[in-house]
Amino acid sequence: MKLILGMGLTGLSVARFYSKKNIDFRIADSRLSPPMLQIMKQENLLIDFHLGEWNKNLLDDISEIIISPGIAESEKIVSWSRKKSIPIISDIELFGRYAKAPIVGISGSNGKSTVTQLLGEMAHNDGKNAVVCGNIGKPVMDSLSDDADVYIVEISSYQLDYTNKINLLTGVITNITPDHLDRYEDFNAYIESKLSLYSYCSSNIVNLNESLVSKIDLNACYAIDKHGINCEFHANKDGDKFIFFHGSQTLMSSEELLVIGRHNVENILAALTLGHQIGLSLKSMVITSKKFKGIEHRLEWVVSLNGVDFFNDSKSTNGISTITAIKAIADKYKSVILIAGGIAKKEDYSELFQLINTKIDTLILIGQSSAMFSKKINSCPVHIVETMEHAVALSKTIALEGAILLSPGCASFDMFNNFSERGETFKYFVLQEN
């Protein structure tokens, strides 16, 4: 019998798959009211289930465990399973056993969702039946298709932690910066988790601008302002713009793109290199890149009101992401108001504070970290408010030109269910009465 741990989206997708395949399974969650409980009841997936504190009896007659990525290695059920030598796998590994089409794996601290979405659009526009899934939204076990030409899968470090075997045609790690340090023993453990993706790839794609990745044995690479013999795609800075190249062939300029920022130049280079590896045409990839609007909640342009542009970057849940967003916006706008705050992560925010003091005209803070953040800012006005509604209203009152940027640099759970709800709330109040 199989044991599914966790009744979130991952657990639901695995339960559906096992039910369809007539594979016996037990499902358990340490929460009394897990998010997918009602759906599982409606779909008759709770034949053998357990809610509440983990129990050793859950492991009786279990041959394999499929674990949801949110369950940490430190939890009792994992320790008990390790002692009994019961194999523990991720849904990614299970997916790899049944997927009949090639799989592209994409990971990284930042940019992985953007690269995954862009590569999917490139493949679709090139006539491929590309299935985009994984950490980006749709669970992999809900995405299996006999008609797929290629699977483009965003893979988190948590999923990699429980993956032991999977065959990836190609893959990339966009970058590695401190994140999830509440889950890992230290930064080195997090780095090791990310780098494990390459052990499953037939072809490694490497970002030469990422020092923690650049020494990996590579089959192809990409870079900005430096490139080697294997660098199929690169970009050079030319004044205020970037020029993209395939070898010596000029492809396009960043001025032709809808997305902004150096980080998006890297993201496009990653997608171009991956796309080339899976046989996409250069023409369709360039056309797609020029039309690409980015992903929701990641430097998403919302609206222009009275000469002020509003950007929703709610997906920035760590300091590095917000640093990237500020740099991109500040390169284009002379005046920037930043809305930030939430639950601060266990990371060094000093670089972010320094950048805010240098580049931001007004800082508006919300959430649990507001008091701590406000003490670090001394070069611009700081306002602490209680709600997103107040933050947006205040920003509209202050801004005369430039941009208003929501880029929290923190988790959202003190005020919202997730970053998506935070971003939607921001957009709602931005667009209200306009």
Separation of alpha carbons 238 and 352, rounded Å: 27
For the question of residue 283 being annotated catalytic, the response is no
Which residue in the block uniquely carries the two structure tokens 């090639």? 102
87, 62 contact by CB (below 8 A) = no
In the residue annotation, 383 being an active-site residue is answered as no
Q: Specify whether the CB–CB gap between 409 and 338 falls below 8 A.
A: no
Compute the distance between CA of residue 404 and CA of residue 412 in angstroms, rounded to an integer. 19
Write down the catalytic residue from 2, 128, 180, 359.
180
d(CA 140, CA 68) in angstroms, rounded, equals 12
In angstroms, the CA 395 to CA 393 distance is 6
Instruction: Please choose, from the candidates 188, 190, 132, 112, the residue with its C-alpha nearest in 3D space to the C-alpha of residue 157.
Output: 190
**Catalytic residue, candidates 2, 112, 263, 276:** 112
230 catalytic, yes or no? no
The active-site residue, picked from 2, 110, 128, 135, is 135
Q: Kindly state the helix (H) or strand (E) to which residue 39 belongs, with its residue range.
A: helix 37-42
Contact status, residue 359 vs residue 345, Cβ threshold 8 Å: no
Contacts within 8 Å (CB) and 24+ apart, 385-394:
387/415, 388/339, 388/415, 388/422, 388/425, 388/426, 388/429, 389/425, 389/429, 391/339, 391/364, 391/366, 392/339, 392/426, 392/429, 392/430, 393/429, 394/364
CA angle 193, 122, 326 (to 5 degrees): 60
Residues known to be catalytic: 112, 135, 180
